[in-house]
Chain A
Amino acid sequence: MIIGMAWRNFYRQGIRAFLNVLVTGLTIIAVIFMLSLLNGFQAQATRNLVSTDVAGGHYRLPGFDLLTPTEWEDFAFPVPAALHGLAYSEKAEVLLQQGQIFPERRLFPVQLRGLEMQQTLLHLPLESLKSYGPEIGEAIPVVLGLKISEKAHLKKGDSVVLRWRDRFGAVDARDVVVLEVADFINPRLNDGILWMRLDHLRAITRRHGEASWVAVQTYRGEVAGLKFYSPVMLMKDILTLLKHDRRNSKIMWIILMFLAGIGIFNTQIMNVFKRQKEIGTFMALGMTARQIAGMFTLEGSFAALGALGVAAALGIPFFIWFQGVGLDLSHLSGTTIPVRERLFLEFRPAEIVTSVTVIVAVMITVAWLPVRKILRLDPTLALRGKAVT
């Protein structure tokens, strides 16, 4: 009976009820969208980093720092048999050295990165290098990322002088030829790197059998002299960024809930104020204050429950459509954000259930707060419409 009456009273509110339901429903959709977009971003960013660079972790010399090029030479190490013997699908040896190129007679510091051609662990657009053998011809074949090619004004087929220092400190120079200008989905690999065959880089730097790190598919246990850097350690910056994004999204979430809550709160205050005589009548007919407060709370709660329906009715088609088109992030090619392709939502059921439960609980609480007045209402004043002023 109380449910039926609460429903009729809710329905009687007309456009106010509809707007509350709509705003709360849109809040639910917005929260799910925000969280799922972040999930999608995190999933795609980490997937891109893992597939192009991080893999299942790196074995490096302790103290190696990618951001200190002057020390790279000191942190190359002979690849131990335990790692070298792994299948090419399970490891990728990478050597990193400093170099300079001189495009248009300018000095341009670069990172020389050599990668085993047989490896299948990392997915990089270096197919063109495979057509070359271990012997170096007139010029060293290299692949450039889009960004460095723009900065250095180099394009496919161009030659440029490369200078480097070998492991004995001798400075040498030779022409390199740009085989390909490739677009790496990991923007960190697009800039500042001359990609070459590992055997070529080892040959010109006289670092046979050496690597700066060995990317592995899974942790292979302790390796003497080396330290294992897990994917979490290697992706610390992007994971920290995402953590901050999640915090920011919570602020957005709170703002949205606040707005939706204000609508319901306002409606409930109006209800108690405008329907004092009705409340007094209920009391005179024998309803307890607690029963009446429960009925009014239920009325307000219908907005939250209705919002679930609206969220399903509007949200499901929207999410289906969105998963078909994705969010175009191609404009982010100039940034260091490791997502270059279209971004898609990734739904986590537990997260959605938690979010929706929290929203509904907050809305029911908001519906109840103004109604508490009824518990203290003097029925004689309520009947005269003077209990709440």
Chain B
Amino acid sequence: MLKLDHVSKTYHVGSEDFPALQGVTLQVESGAFLAFVGPSGSGKTTLLNLIGGLDRPTSGEIVLNGLNLKQMRNEDLAAMRRGQIGFIFQSHNLLPVYSIYENVLFPLLLNGEKESAVRGRVMQMVESVGLSPFAKKKPAELSGGQCQRAAIARALVKQPSLVLADEPTANLDTENSCHILELMKNLNETYQAAFIFSTHDERVIKYVRREIHLQDGRVSRDMRRNGQGVLE
């Protein structure tokens, strides 16, 4: 589903170059549940941004569902994000003027759906993250954990093939983090959307089926859990 081939990204700051990623090559299969693990500055977020088409690699190629992102125009990348990618951010990034229901509805409206046609689907998604009683509330009226659950619903409502979650539990306490991770694991199994996290949170790492460790912009380890839950 996703293939990265010798992807590098270098930032130019003044007259200096800062390599954020160097020759990253990997493949991610459909329905994956994996995490990019590494310390700050290791290139996790950069990698997510490149996969999500929010940024472009300095060299190398990224192919998502057969689409070579390097060759796509900004408008086409936006269309790809609309249709195929769900984003979950460190802070929920919900739209403050919209209710929870409207926030979850928003990606579908962007895809040209009519509200009347997708109302049931949106409510079902809101229910699946346990926010039915709060559907009409604004994000400011909800806790951080509830908002993050709404953000997950927003990311999944359009049934994307890939969900990119950038440190989704960083702003949550342990209890909320566990709830969120359980929820995402269940949704991953239900909807078969691939989840890619960037994290250095041990609580997240315990949940994923594959860990890709990054160090100074390079893949240092790529480990999968076996049937017994042991990393290999």
A-side residues, CB < 8 A to B, are 1, 5, 8-9, 11-12, 277-278, 280-281, 283-289, 378-380, 383
Residues from chain B with Cβ under 8 Å of A1 in the complex: 109-110
Q: What is the interface of chain A mostly: helix, strand, loop, or mixed?
A: helix
Residues from chain A with Cβ under 8 Å of B97 in the complex: 5, 8-9, 11-12
Nearest CB in chain B: distance from A205 CB, A: 86
Asked if residues B96 and A12 are in contact (CB atoms below 8 Å), the reply is yes
Asked if residues B54 and A284 are in contact (CB atoms below 8 Å), the reply is yes
Specify which of B45, B55, B79, B91 is in contact with A286 (CB 8 Å cutoff): B79
Nearest CB in chain A: distance from B11 CB, A: 10
B92 and chain A: residue at smallest CB distance: A281
Q: Interface size of B by Cβ–Cβ distance < 8 Å?
A: 28
- B218 close to chain A: CB less than 8 A: no
Asked if residues A286 and B78 are in contact (CB atoms below 8 Å), the reply is yes
Nearest CB in chain A: distance from B227 CB, A: 35
Residues from chain A with Cβ under 8 Å of B98 in the complex: 5, 8
Q: Bound complex: CA of A128 vs CA of B26, how far in Å?
A: 111
Q: Bound complex: CA of A277 vs CA of B89, how far in Å?
A: 11
Within 8 A of A (CB), among B47-94: 49, 52, 54-55, 74-75, 78-83, 87, 89, 91, 93
Q: Bound complex: CA of A304 vs CA of B128, how far in Å?
A: 43
Offer 5 A-B interface pairs, CB within 8 angstroms, sorted by A: A5-B95, A5-B97, A283-B78, A286-B107, A379-B55
Q: Bound complex: CA of A283 vs CA of B74, how far in Å?
A: 10
Q: Bound complex: CA of A383 vs CA of B89, how far in Å?
A: 9
B52 and chain A: residue at smallest CB distance: A284
Asked if residues B95 and A278 are in contact (CB atoms below 8 Å), the reply is yes
**Contact A285 B49, CB 8 Å, known A8-B97, A380-B55:** no
Q: Bound complex: CA of A378 vs CA of B87, how far in Å?
A: 17
Asked if residues B81 and A380 are in contact (CB atoms below 8 Å), the reply is no
- B101 close to chain A: CB less than 8 A: no
Asked if residues B110 and A286 are in contact (CB atoms below 8 Å), the reply is yes
Q: Bound complex: CA of A378 vs CA of B49, how far in Å?
A: 11
**Contact A284 B87, CB 8 Å, known A12-B96, A277-B93, A380-B54:** yes
Asked if residues B83 and A281 are in contact (CB atoms below 8 Å), the reply is no
Q: Bound complex: CA of A227 vs CA of B167, how far in Å?
A: 92
Specify which of A277, A280, A285, A380 is in contact with B110 (CB 8 Å cutoff): A285
Q: Bound complex: CA of A380 vs CA of B53, how far in Å?
A: 10
- B106 close to chain A: CB less than 8 A: yes
Top 7 nearest A-B pairs by Cβ distance? A286-B82, A8-B97, A286-B81, A281-B93, A284-B87, A379-B54, A288-B78
B111 and chain A: residue at smallest CB distance: A286
B94 and chain A: residue at smallest CB distance: A281
Q: Bound complex: CA of A288 vs CA of B81, how far in Å?
A: 10
Residues from chain A with Cβ under 8 Å of B95 in the complex: 5, 278, 281
Residues from chain B with Cβ under 8 Å of A378 in the complex: 55
Residues from chain A with Cβ under 8 Å of B154 in the complex: 285
Q: Bound complex: CA of A12 vs CA of B139, how far in Å?
A: 14
Nearest CB in chain A: distance from B51 CB, A: 12
**Contact A285 B54, CB 8 Å, known A5-B97, A8-B97, A277-B93:** no
Q: Bound complex: CA of A1 vs CA of B82, how far in Å?
A: 15
Residues from chain B with Cβ under 8 Å of A5 in the complex: 95, 97-98
Asked if residues A285 and B106 are in contact (CB atoms below 8 Å), the reply is yes
